[in-house]
Chains A and B, each alone.
Chain A
Amino acid sequence: MTLLGQFSLWAALLVGLWCVAVGLSGGWKQRPEIAAMVTRAPYAVLICLVAASLALWQGLVSHDFNIEYVAAYTSRNLPPYYVVSAFWAGQKGSLLFWAVVLSLFGSLAQALTPRRHSDLLPYVAAVTSAVVVFFVSVMLFSANPFERLPFTPPDGRGLNPQLQNVGMVIHPPMLYLGYISITVPFAFATAALLSRKLDTGWIHAIRKWTLVSWLFLSIGITLGMWWAYVELGWGGYWAWDPVENASLLPWLTMTAFLHSVMIQEKRGMLKRWNLGLIIGTFLLSIFGTFITRSGVISSVHSFTQSNVGYFFLAFLVIAGTFGFTLLYTRWPLLEAESQLDSVASREAAFLFNNLLLVGIAFSVLWGTLFPILSELVRGSKITVGPPFFNRVNVPLGLLLLGLTGVGPLIAWRKASTANLKRQFRWPALAGLGTLFILLAAGMRDFYPVMALALAGFVAGTVVQEFQRGARARMRMHQESLALALGRLIARNRRRYGGYLVHVGVLIYCVAFTGMAFKREQEATLKPGQSVEVRSPFGHTYTFTHLGVSQFESLNRIVTAGTVEVKKDGKPAGLITSEKRQHVDSFKRPTFEPSTEVGIRSGLQEDIYIVLAGVVNGTEEAVYRFNLNPLVWWVWFGGGVLVVGGLVTMWPGGGPLIRTRRVQAGYEATLAGAATERE
């Protein structure tokens, strides 16, 4: 099967190269017959890469340990679902995964794009194929997943224990899907620039794609936080690690684009900025991949260091030069059709929102790269860890949270003083009320207090928007509150889905403040001994060590410490934390012992217990007990964010233009303009 895999990769490379060359020339010369031919090429590339993927999967499932990749990432006793997910667990397999999903997205872009944008499709095929060609080249010339060993080991090394988690089965593909799908908007933007069709057509063509990639990135990032929390055992979910930062960067710029594109749609402004954002987002997705795979910056999440980093660096430079040069050459065609009227306008609020989002992205990128710069300038190495990122980014994040509330309420073009008063009175009171309550309750930590007060303000804005919309419907259509709310969202999914996303963001922010109040306690306990930890919500938890047991399970030997929990003196169940020594089918240890955290989630706080080890091989155990406030709300916030995104992108739901009542003045102007055109 490796032969089939190799052959398929070469075939994909050749078809892809042909598609790039012919697509660009066909589009350039406006030859529809060539264009029609080339728009089918992505399907051929997809077939080749699906064949290659099946070949690799066949190798994994049949335990063909003569394939280096199979021997490095699986073993005979690895549970079947991890054998399947080993496809994207390693460097080489994940490159193939990237290539096959990208060719799928490239094909879907050809199949699903409305015919009115067909002028752009040859270029889109060429650009997506160019990126596929790059990934296939990396595989063929540097990291081939079908490489064979000179011998066949009796068993493989197995999968890294930290990757043996349900989160890791889902999280990397989600993140990859986010990264990969960014290529499609980039391809449409490049197509618009190449074909000089720079009206709003390309923006309409990519709307769903930008939402899809934003959604996948959001899901991937949230699942990544969850995996880090339950699997890494350090008690948190975000450590500003370079690889985590790399996933955040395109999410931030894509979020900026989703806001600024509204200004282009409504007022024909920010055309250059939007194109720049799409090109930048694509480059950041490649940069993230470069960071993860090059080993240029140390990270706990990185793949093994290899020379694929050079390929990515070269591709990054070429793609950046190509994209921005193209943008520069089309600069005069991208004049704004109108200008900003006032600082007190929604356009201005969105601009400031974009400035902050891109500024935060810059700040994260700056912090990630600063160690390299510092070494170049001063010759001494430094570490840029969470204290740096928190100090720089938390104030910016608070400003952004505030703008999340301002943007939706302020009027387009220019807001009058009366409008500002009417819109902001209640939300401002909600924010001030929250601030007063927190101060009265004795909270004095500046950032958490500000975050919660601003969250109160944003919640006020969202509630007010829903309440006004629902009240209007109830009055006009005599609907019940539930029906009015349901129809309000269904009839204007983009707007109210967006508000739901804002709710998700504010829940995130509130939940993040919880970690400022977490409690940690280390204790060594003999069976029967207890330790008490007081939570920030005033509860007293008593943890009693019951004992340590050992048993074999699947592909590991487990040492489990069991703790009885009492909350305010009342029994609250047992929690078990484990040490796992993974072994291959010959019972030989494969990795260092790993920790499996015991977690009990609650609305107020999580109980998080880590078995650190035992004393002299006895049942006397060393534990770390954490009480982590509001963590459950991080996952809930992520869920709301995703639901909001789904509502926004769900097809249909918009009111029909033809059946709509419009103001007489507009109607007259539209009719007049239509007559003139005829």
Chain B
Amino acid sequence: MPELETPTVGPRHTRRSFLGLAAGSLVAALSLTRRAGAQGQESSAQEPLAGQGATGSLRDPTVVGRSRTPTTANDNDEAIKQIEKRIHCTCGCNLDVFTCRTTDFSCTYSPELHREVVALFDQGKSAQQILDAFVAKYGEKVLMAPEPKNFNLVGYLLPGVVITVGAAVLALVIGRRERRRSLAMAAAAAASPPPARGTVPSAQATPEELDRLRQALSEVDD
């Protein structure tokens, strides 16, 4: 007959001792967690996010696009920004240099153009001189908008001129009609006696006019 394995019997626990043990463990665990949390807060306030230590490396840097160089003071210089907003990026994106270099991060043209602007700026050139240098190098197309001179003035002024002339002609024609009408009305009033009180002026209306009248009445709120 095979020998039966006798179960190992440990120390016996009463319900009271079990509950006491459980409560003690809970209190100990809570206090440990609190202490750890406090330590964590202290340490986070002191070290890991200070931005001075080593930064972690990415698992796959190839999927982030080309590597960036750290920002310099010139990148945020308002004067340089304003100049770059007037220069067209040559990559074919239709954006200005500032917008392209801060938006299209695969573009290699705008960072290069930015460096050119910064170099000229550091030489003490004014905004206009920098723009002129760009036009001399890349042609007028490099400006986001053509200079308002020579033939370009046609581009800038024609819409305004067309609208002004149109408005002037309209005002002139309406004004002339208005004068003519008021003269005619004055002449008619002088020629005919005023209508008797209580009569309703009547006129022959065309079906078109009646249609419009009905339409107009339908739009008047009750």
| Residue ranges of A at the interface with B (Cβ–Cβ < 8 Å) | 199-200, 232-235, 239, 241, 265-268, 298-300, 337, 339-343, 348, 351-352, 355-356, 359-360, 362-363, 366-367, 370, 374, 377-378, 380-388, 391-392, 395-396, 414, 469, 488, 491-492, 494-495, 520-529, 544-548, 550, 557, 559, 579, 581, 589, 592-593, 595, 610, 612-620, 622, 624, 654-655, 657, 660-662, 664-666, 668-670, 672-673, 677
CB distance from B145 to the nearest CB of A (A): 4
- 12 interchain pairs (CB within 8 A)? A268-B209, A348-B174, A355-B167, A387-B144, A391-B156, A521-B76, A550-B60, A589-B63, A593-B65, A614-B68, A660-B217, A672-B202
Which of the segments B4-12, B88-96, B118-126 contacts the partner chain?
Answer: B88-96
A residues in contact with B37, CB < 8 Å = none
Q: Tell me whether A668 and B52 are in contact (CB under 8 A).
A: no
Interface hits, B51-82 → A, CB 8 Å = 51-52, 55-61, 63-71, 75-76, 81
In contact, A615 and B67 (Cβ under 8 angstroms) = yes
Q: How far is the CA of A424 from the CA of B106 in the complex (A)?
A: 55
The CA-CA distance from A378 to B155 in the complex, in Å, is: 13
Chain A residues whose CB sits within 8 angstroms of the CB of B202 once the complex forms: 668-669, 672
Q: Kindly report which residue of chain A lies nearest to residue B60, judged by CB atoms.
A: A550
Q: Is B141 an interface residue (CB 8 A)?
A: yes
Which single residue of chain B is at the shortest CB-CB distance from A377?
Answer: B151
In whole Å, how far is B61's beta carbon from the nearest beta carbon of chain A? 3
Instruction: Give CA–CA (A316, B118) in the complex, Å.
Output: 47
One of B13-21, B26-34, B97-105 at the interface:
B97-105
Q: Which residues on the B side are within 8 Å of A385 (C-beta)?
A: 88, 94, 96, 144-145
Contacts of B166 in A (CB 8 A): 355, 359
Q: By the criterion CB–CB under 8 Å, are B64 and A559 in contact?
A: yes
Interface size class of B (residues with CB under 8 A): 35 or more
Contact of B51 among A378, A529, A595 (CB under 8 A): A529
A367: which B residues are within 8 A, CB to CB? 155
- When the two chains form the complex, which single residue of B63, B96, B177, B208 contacts A579, counting CB atoms closer than 8 Å? B63
Nearest 10 CB-CB pairs, A to B? A617-B61, A528-B49, A363-B159, A529-B51, A581-B63, A528-B51, A388-B145, A359-B163, A387-B145, A613-B68
**B103 in contact with A388 (CB, 8 Å):** no
Q: Which of A384, A559, A618, A673 contacts B145 (CB 8 A)?
A: A384
Contacts of A266 in B (CB 8 A): 212, 215-216
Given contacts A366-B155, A388-B155, A595-B103, contact A234 B219 (CB under 8 A): no
Would A622 and B209 count as touching, CB distance under 8 A? Answer: no
In the complex, A234→B63 CA distance in Å?
Answer: 21
Bound CA–CA A395/B181 (angstroms): 34
Which of B60, B102, B106 counts the most chain A CB atoms within 10 A? B102
Chain B residues with Cβ below 8 Å from A655 are 218, 220-222
In this complex, which of A298, A381, A673 has the most chain B Cβ atoms within 10 angstroms of its Cβ? A673
Nearest residue, chain A, Cβ from B56:
A619
Residue in chain A with minimal CB distance to B175: A343
Residues of chain B within 8 A of A388, CB atoms compared: 144-146, 155-156
Q: Closest Cβ of chain A: how far from B89's Cβ, in Å?
A: 10
B200 at the interface (CB under 8 A from A): yes
Taking CB atoms, residues of chain A closer than 8 Å to B59 are 550
Most buried by B among A388, A525, A595: A388
Quote the shortest CB–CB distance from A52 to chain B (angstroms): 34
- Answer whether residue B211 sits at the interface, using C-beta atoms and an 8 A cutoff: yes
For A264, give the chain B residue with the smallest CB separation.
B212
Q: Flag whether B188 is at the interface (Cβ < 8 A).
A: no
6 other A-B residue contacts (CB within 8 Å) besides A234-B103, A524-B71: A239-B95, A359-B166, A614-B67, A615-B67, A622-B70, A670-B210
State whether B170 touches A355 (Cβ < 8 A). Answer: yes
Q: Does B2 contact A (CB under 8 A)?
A: no
| Cα-based distance from A545 to B70 in the complex (angstroms) | 14
Chain B interface residues (CB < 8 Å from chain A):
48-52, 55-61, 63-71, 75-76, 81, 86, 88, 92-96, 99, 102-103, 105-106, 139-146, 151-152, 155-156, 158-160, 162-163, 166-167, 170-171, 174-175, 177-178, 181, 200-222
A343 adjacent to B156 (CB under 8 Å): no
Q: Which of A342, A396, A592 contacts B178, CB < 8 Å?
A: A342
Contact check, A381 vs B151: say whether CB atoms are below 8 A apart. no
Chain A residues positioned under 8 Å from B48 (CB to CB)? 527-528
Given A392-B159, A673-B210: A298 and B92 within 8 A (CB)? yes
- Interface contact A469-B221, CB-CB below 8 Å: yes
A670→B58 contact, CB < 8 A: no
Contact between chains at B208 and A384 (CB < 8 Å): no
Q: Which of A383, A391, A654 contacts B218 (CB 8 A)?
A: A654
Residues of A within 8 A of B96 (CB): 385
Give the residue of A200, A241, A382, A524 whose beta carbon is less than 8 angstroms from that of B146: A382
Complex contact A381–B205 (CB within 8 A): no
Which of B65, B92, B162 meets A592, CB within 8 Å?
B65
- Report yes or no: A381 in contact with B139, Cβ–Cβ below 8 A: yes
Q: How far is the CA of A168 from the CA of B219 in the complex (A)?
A: 40
A265–B212 alpha-carbon span in the complex (Å): 6
Given A343-B174, A613-B105, A654-B219, A526 and B55 contact (CB-CB distance below 8 Å): yes
Q: Given that A266-B212, A383-B146, A557-B63 are known contacts, is A352 also in contact with B170, CB under 8 Å in the complex?
A: yes
Tell me the minimal C-beta distance from A116 to chain B in angstroms.
12
Contacts of A664 in B (CB 8 A): 200
Contact between A677 and B207, CB atoms less than 8 A apart: yes
Please give, as numbers and ranges, the residues of chain B lying within 8 Å of A342 by CB-CB distance.
174, 178
Give Cα A38 to B172, complex, Å.
49
| Cα-based distance from A612 to B66 in the complex (angstroms) | 10
Separation in Å of the A249 CB from the closest CB of chain B? 13
Q: Hey, which chain A residues are within 8 Å of B103, CB to CB?
A: 232-235, 595, 610, 624
Distance in angstroms between the alpha carbons of A351 and B167 in the assembled complex: 9
- CB-nearest residue of chain B relative to A668? B200
CA gap between A362 and B92 in the complex, in Å: 26
Which residues of A have CB within 8 Å of B94?
239, 241, 298-300, 385
Of A488, A495, A617, A677, chain B has the most CB atoms within 10 Å of the CB of A617
Give Cα A596 to B70, complex, Å.
21
> Residues of B contacting A374 with CB < 8 Å?
146, 151-152, 155
Q: How far is the CA of A267 from the CA of B208 in the complex (A)?
A: 10
Given the known interface contacts A374-B155, A391-B145, A579-B64, the answer about A546 and B201 at a Cβ–Cβ threshold of 8 Å is no
Contacts of A492 in B (CB 8 A): 219, 221
Contacts A266-B215, A374-B151, A526-B51; A615 near B69 (Cβ below 8 A): yes
What separation, in Å, do the CA atoms of A526 and B70 have in the docked complex?
A: 10
Of B58, B75, B88, B92, which is within 8 A of A550 by CB? Answer: B58
Contacts of B75 in A (CB 8 A): 522
Cα separation A341 to B160 with both chains bound (whole Å): 27
Determine the chain B residues whose CB is within 8 A of the CB of A615 once the complex forms. 67-70
